[in-house]
Amino acid sequence: MSSVTEARATRAVVNKVLWRIMPFIGLLYFISFIDRIAISFAGPHGMTADLNLTATVFGLASGIFFAGYILLEVPSNIALQRFGARVWLTRIIITWGIVQALMAFVPSAEWLIGARFLLGVAEAGFAPGVLVYLMYWIPKSRRVWAFSLFLLVPYVTNAIGGPLMTWLALTSKDLIPGLAGWRTMILITGIAAIAAGVAAWVLLVDSPRKARWLSTEERETLLSAIAQEQEVASDSNHRVMAGLKNPKVLLLSLAFFSLPFGFFGLTFFLPTIVAGFKAQLGADFTPTMQAGLTSLPWICGIIGALVLSTLADRTGRPGAVTLLSGSIGALGALGAAFVDSPFTLIVMLSIAAFGLSAIAPTVFAIVPKVVAGTAAVAATALVNSLGSIGGFVGPYLTGFVTDLTGTQDVTYFLMAGFLVLGGFIALSIDNRHRRIVGIRSTGAPGLEPVLTNGNDK
């Protein structure tokens, strides 16, 4: 088979895989993210008043999710490698659904904070676990695109989640007697997650080796493509500790930090910011209009993810695209700090969201270039885990600064700085890897698959 024919066959199989697994995986992430951000819409629809929350406490409740999430990310990904994606992802989804459903009945701010912490513990490992799962199925040459399709879901969720959650909070207030609309909304999202977990048990397949919907020829083509494209720096190996102790992995964690810092600061406070426009402008914004304004930055994020990830996929330069994305996001963040008009602020935040959108898929595409095997599983979880500290710092700092100064300007400046720093880190590591691969390309081959699922033995 010629190289051109082989490439076409591989592309056809990968496209078939993407069409088969991505819609359901995307649905799972959509439900995950709805559960994660539900309190951002519950806040202005009664939760803040009912639980007597200040902006700082609301930021703490929003961000504390990541404390539990961070603690168990790495162990959860290693467990996925041990038990298989089907078993472990199902466990994660059902567990977080139960916690989310119980959160509907919290009586105070303290209970809310505790429930949010437990939600993070329950959901730990889901997003990086899916990224590892995609590594089982997708060759490196298409991985940025596959990652971007998955990591596009939070932007889609924020874009349509505003109108959806607003509608749900308003229409469900009388659905269950004695239960406020925001509580019923949270309960419904928890039940949806439990149902999705049951569906995951039925529909997920651990790896290409077990996929009955692939022919033998398609299966071998896919596995061969994954094996041939492995690129690992000469000083790396496959053990767990190699991934956890590698300094480049730690630097990539810092690069990834910029995304959750900015993204979740906006996610949790944007509905409240938009709700405040009514008082600033003296205009009568309906809940539907507020939800529409909240969606605009995330629609721009969807466009950014598609454009920038395609650029990274075609150029094979995820580090350079990370820097480009970070620079665009920084421009929007700096603009947000200097504008006075609410509508201009939405434009600046839309530019910021456009830039934020490509940080995750490009950074995660660099990880398996640095380490491989089980080390890549642990490293992917570590980057997501340490980087997700930004998901705690961003909302909490935004709430604290808002209570202290009445604006979010300080966090906009910090967002811009972290985005540019993360871009330069990703570019440096990716360029260094490219030079190493160029030197090694004249040596003997002997490459092995990126990952092996424990259930494939």
pLDDT digits (tens, 9 = 90+) for 310-335: 888 788 888 899 999 999 999 999 99
Residue pair 455/83 in contact (Cβ under 8 Å)? The answer is yes
Identify the weakest region by mean pLDDT among 60-74, 169-183, 278-292: 278-292
> How far is the C-alpha of 68 from the C-alpha of 182, rounded, in Å?
23
In the predicted model, what is the mean pLDDT of the chain? Answer: 80
Residue 390 has pLDDT above 70, yes or no: yes
> How far is the C-alpha of 319 from the C-alpha of 144, rounded, in Å?
11
For residue 384, name the pLDDT band (cuts at 50, 70, 90).
confident
What is the reported pLDDT for 354?
Answer: 93
What is the reported pLDDT for 15?
Answer: 84
What is the reported pLDDT for 221?
Answer: 82
Eight-class DSSP state of 210 = G
Does 207 or 189 have the greater pLDDT score? Answer: 189
Does 174 or 237 have the greater pLDDT score? Answer: 174
Residue 439 has pLDDT above 50, yes or no: no
Q: Ramachandran region of residue 373, left (φ > 0), alpha (ψ -120 to 50) or beta? A: left
Identify the weakest region by mean pLDDT among 4-13, 49-58, 107-116, 278-287: 278-287
User: 3-class secondary structure for 157-173?
Assistant: HHHHHHHHHHHHHHHCC
What is the reported pLDDT for 451?
Answer: 46
Residue 232 has pLDDT above 60, yes or no: no
For residue 105, name the pLDDT band (cuts at 50, 70, 90).
very high
For residue 209, name the pLDDT band (cuts at 50, 70, 90).
confident
> How far is the C-alpha of 151 from the C-alpha of 143, rounded, in Å?
12
Identify the weakest region by mean pLDDT among 224-233, 341-350, 426-435: 224-233
What is the reported pLDDT for 287?
Answer: 67
What is the reported pLDDT for 239?
Answer: 59
Q: pLDDT (tens digit, 9 = 90+) per residue, 193-205? A: 999 999 999 988 8
What distances in angstroms separate CA 138 from CA 21, 33, 165, 257, 452, one per listed residue? 11, 23, 33, 25, 13
What distances in angstroms separate CA 242 from CA 79, 238, 247, 255, one per listed residue? 17, 7, 10, 19
> How far is the C-alpha of 130 from the C-alpha of 149, rounded, in Å?
12
| Residue 420 structure tokens | 């540019």
For residue 433, name the pLDDT band (cuts at 50, 70, 90).
low
> How far is the C-alpha of 152 from the C-alpha of 302, rounded, in Å?
6
> How far is the C-alpha of 403 from the C-alpha of 54, rounded, in Å?
8
Mapping DSSP to helix (H, G, I), strand (E, B) and coil, where does residue 213 land? Answer: coil
Handedness of CA 112, 113, 119, 121 (dihedral sign): negative
- What is the share, in percent, of the chain residues with pLDDT greater than 70? 85
> How far is the C-alpha of 319 from the C-alpha of 322, rounded, in Å?
5
Distance of CA 278 to the CA centre of its chain: 31
Residue 167 has pLDDT above 50, yes or no: yes
Averaged pLDDT, 385-400:
78
Half-sphere exposure of 165 (CA within 13 A, CB side): 32
Residue 376 has pLDDT above 80, yes or no: no
> How far is the C-alpha of 74 from the C-alpha of 91, rounded, in Å?
16
What is the reported pLDDT for 441?
Answer: 44
> How far is the C-alpha of 250 from the C-alpha of 267, rounded, in Å?
26
What is the reported pLDDT for 398?
Answer: 76
Residue 172 has pLDDT above 60, yes or no: yes
Q: Ramachandran region of residue 52, left (φ > 0), alpha (ψ -120 to 50) or beta? A: left
Residue 448 has pLDDT above 50, yes or no: no
What is the reported pLDDT for 144?
Answer: 74
> How far is the C-alpha of 13 from the C-alpha of 217, rounded, in Å?
10
Residue pair 318/363 in contact (Cβ under 8 Å)? The answer is yes
| Residue 216 structure tokens | 């033998």
Q: pLDDT (tens digit, 9 = 90+) per residue, 70-79? A: 788 778 878 8
Does 357 or 407 have the greater pLDDT score? Answer: 357
What is the reported pLDDT for 151?
Answer: 77
Averaged pLDDT, 425-448:
61
What distances in angstroms separate CA 331 from CA 22, 153, 328, one per listed residue? 32, 23, 5
Q: pLDDT (tens digit, 9 = 90+) per residue, 78-89? A: 888 788 888 999
- What is the share, in percent, of the chain residues with pLDDT greater than 90? 19
Residue 453 has pLDDT above 60, yes or no: no
| Residue 34 structure tokens | 């709805």
Residue pair 371/46 in contact (Cβ under 8 Å)? The answer is no
What amino acid is encoded at 38 in this protein? A
What is the reported pLDDT for 168?
Answer: 80
Residue 336 has pLDDT above 70, yes or no: yes
Residue 442: how many CB atoms within 10 A of its CB?
A: 6
For residue 191, name the pLDDT band (cuts at 50, 70, 90).
very high
Measured at the CA of 452, the angle between CA 450 and CA 457, to 5 degrees, comes to 155
- pTM above threshold 0.85: no
> How far is the C-alpha of 431 from the C-alpha of 320, rounded, in Å?
9
For residue 45, name the pLDDT band (cuts at 50, 70, 90).
confident
Identify the weakest region by mean pLDDT among 191-200, 265-274, 358-367, 388-397: 265-274
- The C-alpha R_g of the chain, in whole angstroms, comes to 22
Residue pair 125/381 in contact (Cβ under 8 Å)? The answer is yes
Averaged pLDDT, 18-39:
87
What distances in angstroms separate CA 443 from CA 83, 102, 141, 440, 447, one per listed residue? 36, 58, 21, 5, 11
